[in-house]
Amino acid sequence: MNKFDYLFEAINNRAYVRKSFLLSIFSIVTPSPANNKRLKDVPYALIRDDETKQVYFYKDNEKVFVDHPDYDKALFHKNDKLTVDMSVHEFIKDKFETTVGLLLVNLVVFFESVGHAASYINGPITSGTVRGLIDSIMVDNPKEGEEIPSNKASVDQCLNITKNLDYLEGMNDVFVKASSLDVLTVHPDVIKLRDKLLNELEKENKLDDPAAVAKVIDEVVALDASIQYNGPSKDFFIDKKFIDNARKKMFVVFDMVPDFNTGKYQLLRNSLNEGWDKDNYPAYINTAISGSYDRGNATGEGGAEVKVMILLTDRIEAIDTDCQTPRTETVVLNDFSFGSWVGGYYKTEDGLKVLSKVDKGLMGKPLQFRVPQFCEQGDYNLCKVCCGEKLGAIKNRVSAETVLIFTQIMLQRMKGMHSSQLKMVKLDLNRIVK
């Protein structure tokens, strides 16, 4: 049996609801009597035969062999490409090329949760993609006798999206190769470039210039990142801080650190992999323990502030009314702030209007926005107009949104507990001044 025919038949019989099936096709399950007995009871689970180097599954208590010449590898990899059309599954409405991983996520996460309210996403599926889908299809849970529109999904159905994502999260150990030779070592070209650029700075007497050194480090880290992103563990580095902070200190260069006696910066050239520079022990130790008590104490204070704000704001509700306050805040939108104001109400000669994503022509013009701090709703609550379409969409959202401010303060303090880094960043002075 062709392996893709096997896959299509299995998914149409919802074999993916058993994780044992997924493990059997995306990994190598050792063919022992105990494992084979377990897999035999799992519909469409793939079983291996070490003697014949063949793979098969049971259908109506009979063995059905699947073509798999590369016996020493898993039957499928998430990046395997295949062409699908309407005959493969009812969720697919056209003919196109996709991957086995995308096919699995679309069916398990979206089709199983909300059915045809969603469409096949044939590309990167990020947290923003999922949030955007939920925002576009979610409606209230239907009351008795009500029906959900065909292109919408209830709150409970949308909640299943996150549950099914959690279900697939258990496959990360199979899908993501966290350990490889590339990850556990550093390419010689990276160290060669580092030494070349730092030696050039040394000749120019710029090793104590944090800006010059940071620029060099960024260039070296960029080379290391390009190697990792093209290696077998590229899916492991989902956050660039794993490379430009963790890997940098481990394999490239420790960093520029402040000298507490002189106020200047000192370069700790050796990476942790190369061992501490014996001539600079004090600098390494100072970096490790500097202000650790104060930062730890500040983290606790940040957490306390979050709890206090929950107590202060938990009873505030966004009421579905308009307080009719005449007070507004003058806002000049730019490309940096525009997205934050989408959904807000602003005054015009024709009355109130809601700022939408297509209103970018209003950037640079002063607008009079209704804002929560000027709301005159009674009982210390807020009206939906002053809150805007986003904050006012859910009656009890105000507290959760308010504490996000203090949560960010807490997170910044927590980050201070860990190794920081020196980086060059570009700032737009117009944004700072305005």
- Per residue of the chain (434 residues), give pLDDT as tens: 999 999 999 999 999 999 999 999 999 999 999 999 999 999 999 999 999 999 999 999 999 999 999 999 999 999 999 999 999 999 999 999 999 999 999 999 999 999 999 999 999 998 889 999 999 999 999 988 899 998 999 999 999 999 999 999 888 888 888 778 888 899 999 999 999 999 999 999 998 888 899 899 999 999 999 999 888 888 887 677 778 788 888 999 988 887 767 778 888 888 999 998 888 888 888 777 665 666 667 677 777 888 888 888 888 999 999 999 999 999 999 888 898 999 999 999 999 999 998 999 999 999 999 999 999 998 889 999 999 998 888 888 888 888 888 788 777 766 655 555 666 677 676 665 55
220, 267 in Cβ contact below 8 A? no
DSSP, res 374? G
Residue 242: other Cβ atoms inside 10 A? 15
In terms of DSSP bridges, do strands 47-49 and 54-59 run parallel, antiparallel, or are they unpaired? antiparallel
The span from the CA of 166 to the CA of 381, in Å, is 36
Q: What angle do CA 251, 254, 258 make, to 5 degrees?
A: 170
Task: Please tell me the pTM assigned to this model.
Answer: 0.66
CB atoms within 10 A of CB 312: 12
Task: Name 58's bridge partners.
Answer: 63
Residue carrying the six token digits 């050194």? 213
